[in-house]
Chain A
Amino acid sequence: MSELLLDVANLKKYYPIKQGVFNKTKETVRAVDGVSFKVNKGETLGIVGESGCGKSTTGRMIMRLIEPTDGKVIFEGQDILNLSKHEMRKVRKDIQMIFQDPFASLNPRQTVGQIIEEPMIVHKMGDRKKRQARVQELLELVGLSAYHAKRYPHQFSGGQRQRIGIARALAVEPKLIIADEPVSALDVSVQSQVLNLLQDLQKKLNLTYIFIAHDLSVVRHISNRVGVMYLGKMVELADSETLYREPKHPYTQALLSAVPIPDPENKTKRIILSGDVPSPAHPPSGCPFHDRCPVAKAICSEEIPHLRELADGRLVSCHLVD
C-alpha cells in the first residue's frame, strides 16, 4: 500500500470584500470552499478546473503562502497549520513550488547560479563550495549546462527558464512539489520537453507532485489521479484512467467534451454550457453547478451535494449520480 504524504481536509479560504465608506464587511468571496484530498508518496495528483475555481489558492494554502480560513493540512502526519513560523521553515524545505510564468518568478538581476543557490542559503545548507557544486549538478539534472550558471534569466528561452525554476525548486531536496501551471506559458514543442523532464525527475528522486493546470490533456498525461474543481469546490476526484474514460459529474463531462481534439476525423459532439462561471462572491444555492448544468433537477438548487465515494472508488459530488 502506498504511503500517505499529504492529507488536506475541508480547506477554505474566504476573502472579505470591503465596501462603502465604513468598510463594513458585506460579502465574502469563497475562493476555496471546503476542499479535501489525499496525496500519496511518489504519485502525481492533478488539479484541473477553469479560471478562478480556486486551484492556485489551494496550492498556496498548502505551503501557507496564503493562510487558510479553515481546514487542516496534514503533511507527514503533522498539521502544519498549527506550526510556528520557525517550525514552518523546516516544512517549507520539504514543499516547493514551481510557477506558471518562469520569467516573472526569476529575479532578472541575479545570475542563474545565484537564483538556484538562494534557497540553499535560506535553509543554511552546506558551505559555499558545496552549494556551488550542487548548482552545477542541478543544472545538468534539468538538462542545462554548468556554464549557464553565470548567465542571466533574460538570456534564456521560456522552456529553459522553466528548467531554471525547476532546478531552484529541487535545490533543497523537497519531498512534495506543487507545480502551478508549469507548462501553460510554453510552446507545444517545448511543453513536452518540460513534461518529460518532470516525469524523469519524479522517477529519479521519488518526488510527489501536485500538478495544477487547466489543460486537461496535459493533466491526464502526467497525473495518477485527478481532481476537478468548480467554484471553490472539488466536484470529482478519481484515478485519471477512470475519470477520463467515464466522467460522472456533468461538469467533468462538459469540460472534457469541450477540449478540441487534434484529430480532424474525430469531431466529438461538444456539450455547450450556457453562460459563464458564476462569481465566487455569489455562488448559486444548492449545487454550485446547477444553473449551468444540462441535467439539473429541483433538488440541485435546494441542497448542497457532498463529495461521496462510488463503488469504483471515485469521489463525486452530484445528486444525480449513483
Chain B
Amino acid sequence: MSDSILEVSNLRTSFFTDDGEVPAVDGISFSIKEGEILGVVGESGCGKSVTSLSIMGLLPHPQGKIVGGQIMYEGKDISHLKEAEMRKLRGNDLAMIFQEPMTSLNPVFTIGEQLTEAIRLHNHMSKQEQNNRAVELLKLVGLPRATELLKEYPHELSGGMRQRVMIAIAMSCNPKVLIADEPTTALDVTIQAQILDLMLKLNQETHTAIMLITHDLGVVAQVCKRVVVMYGGKIVEEGDVKDIFNHPKHPYTEGLIKSIPDLYSKKDKLYSIKGSVPKPGSIKKGCLFAPRCDYVMDKCKEQVPELLGSGHKSRCFLHQDEA
C-alpha cells in the first residue's frame, strides 16, 4: 500500500464536555491513494466532519482532542504536529473546503485580497504575478469576469460562485489532498452539478486526491471510486463504489440505499430503517446498529464486530467468516 498518500489508522477523536467524554470518532482506519476520489458517507453526527478536522489539525480547542491512532501523510505521522508545522502543511499539501462558503470567506475583504493572500502564503511572487495567478485560478474554477470579480466582496456573489472561490483558494497551493466537507449540500441541484463537474475536472487535470464527504448517496455514486460508510463514529463498510451499491454487506448500508426514493420509478412504500441515529457514547456495548437492525442476533447486542474483509470490508457478524 505504498501508493496511498494519506493513511488514517485507528483514529479516535473525542470531545470533552460538561457531560463527559464524547467519542465522536471511534477508531477509524482508511487510506487515500494519490489522485483518487474517496467518498465518505454517513448521516448527521456520524463523525464525518470531526474526521476531516482531525486530519487538518482544526479541531476546536481545547474540547476536541485526538486521543488515539495515527494520521500518516507521505509516511509521516501528522496527528500531533505543532500548529506552525501544521499550518505549513495546510498551506501546501492539504486543503479543505466546507459546506457553507459564506462562513469561510471573510466578508470584509474582497475576493482578490483573500485569494492573493492564499497565494502569497506559499509562493514568492510579485504583486503582478499574484494578481495574474488569482485571475488564472478564478478561470480554472469556471468563474466569468475574473478580473472584475477580484474587486468584489463575498456578499455580492451567489452561493455557487462563493463555493467556486473557496475551491480556487483551496487549489491555490496545488494541494496533494483536498478534503471537501459537504461542498454542495447548501447548493441547488443545477449548481451542485456544476461544482461536482468542476471537482472531477480538477481531479483529472491536477491529479489532486479528493476526500469527498457527503450524506448524499447519489453524489457518491456519481463521483467516487471508493467509498467509506460511517455510522456512529465508526466505519461500517468500505469498498469499491459498485460493490457497495450493488452488493451492500452491512445492514445499515443496505437500509440506507433502500430508503432513497427513486427518480425513475415509483415504489408504493419506501423501505425505512426503524428508530434513529444514536447519540455518540449512548450505546455501551455491542454493535451500534443492533437496535435498528433487521438481522440482529444475540451476539450483536453483546460484542462489537470488527471491520473485516479484503477489498470490500464490513463491520458485521453476518460477514465475519468471509474475511
- Assembled-state Cα–Cα distance A217/B276 (Å): 22
A195 near B245: Cβ-Cβ < 8 Å: no
Which residue, A189, A267, A272, A273, has most C-beta atoms of chain B within 10 A?
A189
Distance (Å) between the CB of A14 and the closest chain B CB? 22
- Assembled-state Cα–Cα distance A276/B145 (Å): 14
When distances are taken between beta carbons in the complex, the residues of chain A under 8 Å from B257 are 262
- Assembled-state Cα–Cα distance A214/B187 (Å): 11
B263 lies within 8 A of chain A by Cβ: yes
- Assembled-state Cα–Cα distance A318/B263 (Å): 24
Closest to B231 in A: A189
A214 near B245: Cβ-Cβ < 8 Å: no
B255 near A261: Cβ-Cβ < 8 Å: no
- Assembled-state Cα–Cα distance A189/B159 (Å): 28
Contact string against B for A residues 255-277, beta-carbon threshold 8 Å, 1 for contact and 0 otherwise:
11111111111010010110111
When distances are taken between beta carbons in the complex, the residues of chain A under 8 Å from B220 are 262
Given A50-B190, A188-B259, A270-B197, A262-B218 contact (CB < 8 Å) = yes
B241 near A264: Cβ-Cβ < 8 Å: yes
Contact string against B for A residues 161-196, beta-carbon threshold 8 Å, 1 for contact and 0 otherwise:
000000000000000000000000001111111011
Given A267-B222, A272-B193, A240-B188 contact (CB < 8 Å) = no
A160 lies within 8 A of chain B by Cβ: yes
B242 near A193: Cβ-Cβ < 8 Å: no
Closest to A200 in B: B269
Given A50-B188, A276-B160, A187-B44 contact (CB < 8 Å) = yes
Looking at the complex, which one of B193, B255, B263, B274 makes contact with A270 (CB distance below 8 Å)?
B193
Distance (Å) between the CB of A40 and the closest chain B CB? 18
B127 lies within 8 A of chain A by Cβ: no
When distances are taken between beta carbons in the complex, the residues of chain B under 8 Å from A216 are 189, 263
Looking at the complex, which one of B190, B223, B245, B256 makes contact with A188 (CB distance below 8 Å)?
B256
Interface residues on B, range: 35 or more
A221 near B241: Cβ-Cβ < 8 Å: no
Distance (Å) between the CB of B305 and the closest chain A CB? 20
Contact string against B for A residues 85-101, beta-carbon threshold 8 Å, 1 for contact and 0 otherwise:
00000000000000000
- Assembled-state Cα–Cα distance A196/B271 (Å): 9
- Assembled-state Cα–Cα distance A267/B223 (Å): 9
B231-287 interface (Cβ within 8 A of A)? 241-242, 245-246, 255-257, 259-264, 266-267, 269-274, 276-277
Looking at the complex, which one of B196, B261, B271 makes contact with A220 (CB distance below 8 Å)?
B261
Distance (Å) between the CB of A271 and the closest chain B CB? 8
Looking at the complex, which one of B189, B242, B269 makes contact with A255 (CB distance below 8 Å)?
B189
When distances are taken between beta carbons in the complex, the residues of chain A under 8 Å from B267 are 221
Closest to A157 in B: B276
Interface of A is mostly: helix
- Assembled-state Cα–Cα distance A259/B196 (Å): 11
Closest to A199 in B: B269
B89 lies within 8 A of chain A by Cβ: no
A191 near B259: Cβ-Cβ < 8 Å: yes
B173-200 interface (Cβ within 8 A of A)? 188-194, 196-197
Distance (Å) between the CB of B219 and the closest chain A CB? 5
A76 lies within 8 A of chain B by Cβ: no
- Assembled-state Cα–Cα distance A272/B255 (Å): 31
A51 lies within 8 A of chain B by Cβ: yes
Which residue, A199, A216, A264, has most C-beta atoms of chain B within 10 A?
A264
When distances are taken between beta carbons in the complex, the residues of chain A under 8 Å from B241 are 264
Given A50-B190, A217-B260, A262-B218, A195-B270 contact (CB < 8 Å) = yes
When distances are taken between beta carbons in the complex, the residues of chain B under 8 Å from A27 are none
A202-226 interface (Cβ within 8 A of B)? 214, 216-218, 220-222
- Assembled-state Cα–Cα distance A190/B43 (Å): 10
B216 lies within 8 A of chain A by Cβ: yes
- Assembled-state Cα–Cα distance A191/B220 (Å): 19
- Assembled-state Cα–Cα distance A234/B159 (Å): 23
When distances are taken between beta carbons in the complex, the residues of chain B under 8 Å from A214 are 188-189
A160 near B276: Cβ-Cβ < 8 Å: yes
A277 near B197: Cβ-Cβ < 8 Å: no
- Assembled-state Cα–Cα distance A267/B144 (Å): 28
When distances are taken between beta carbons in the complex, the residues of chain A under 8 Å from B272 are 189, 192-193, 196
B222 near A189: Cβ-Cβ < 8 Å: no
B190 near A189: Cβ-Cβ < 8 Å: no
A241 lies within 8 A of chain B by Cβ: yes
A244 lies within 8 A of chain B by Cβ: yes
Closest to A292 in B: B190
A-B contact pairs, 7 of them (CB 8 A): A50-B191, A189-B276, A216-B189, A257-B193, A263-B245, A264-B241, A276-B191
Instruction: Name A's B-contacting residues (CB within 8 A).
Output: 50-51, 157-160, 187-193, 195-196, 199, 214, 216-218, 220-222, 240-241, 244, 254-265, 267, 270, 272-273, 275-277
Instruction: Name B's A-contacting residues (CB within 8 A).
Output: 43-44, 144, 158-161, 188-194, 196-197, 215-223, 241-242, 245-246, 255-257, 259-264, 266-267, 269-274, 276-277
12 additional contacts (CB under 8 A) given A50-B189, A240-B266, A257-B193:
A50-B190, A189-B256, A190-B276, A190-B277, A195-B261, A196-B269, A196-B270, A218-B261, A244-B263, A255-B189, A262-B245, A265-B242
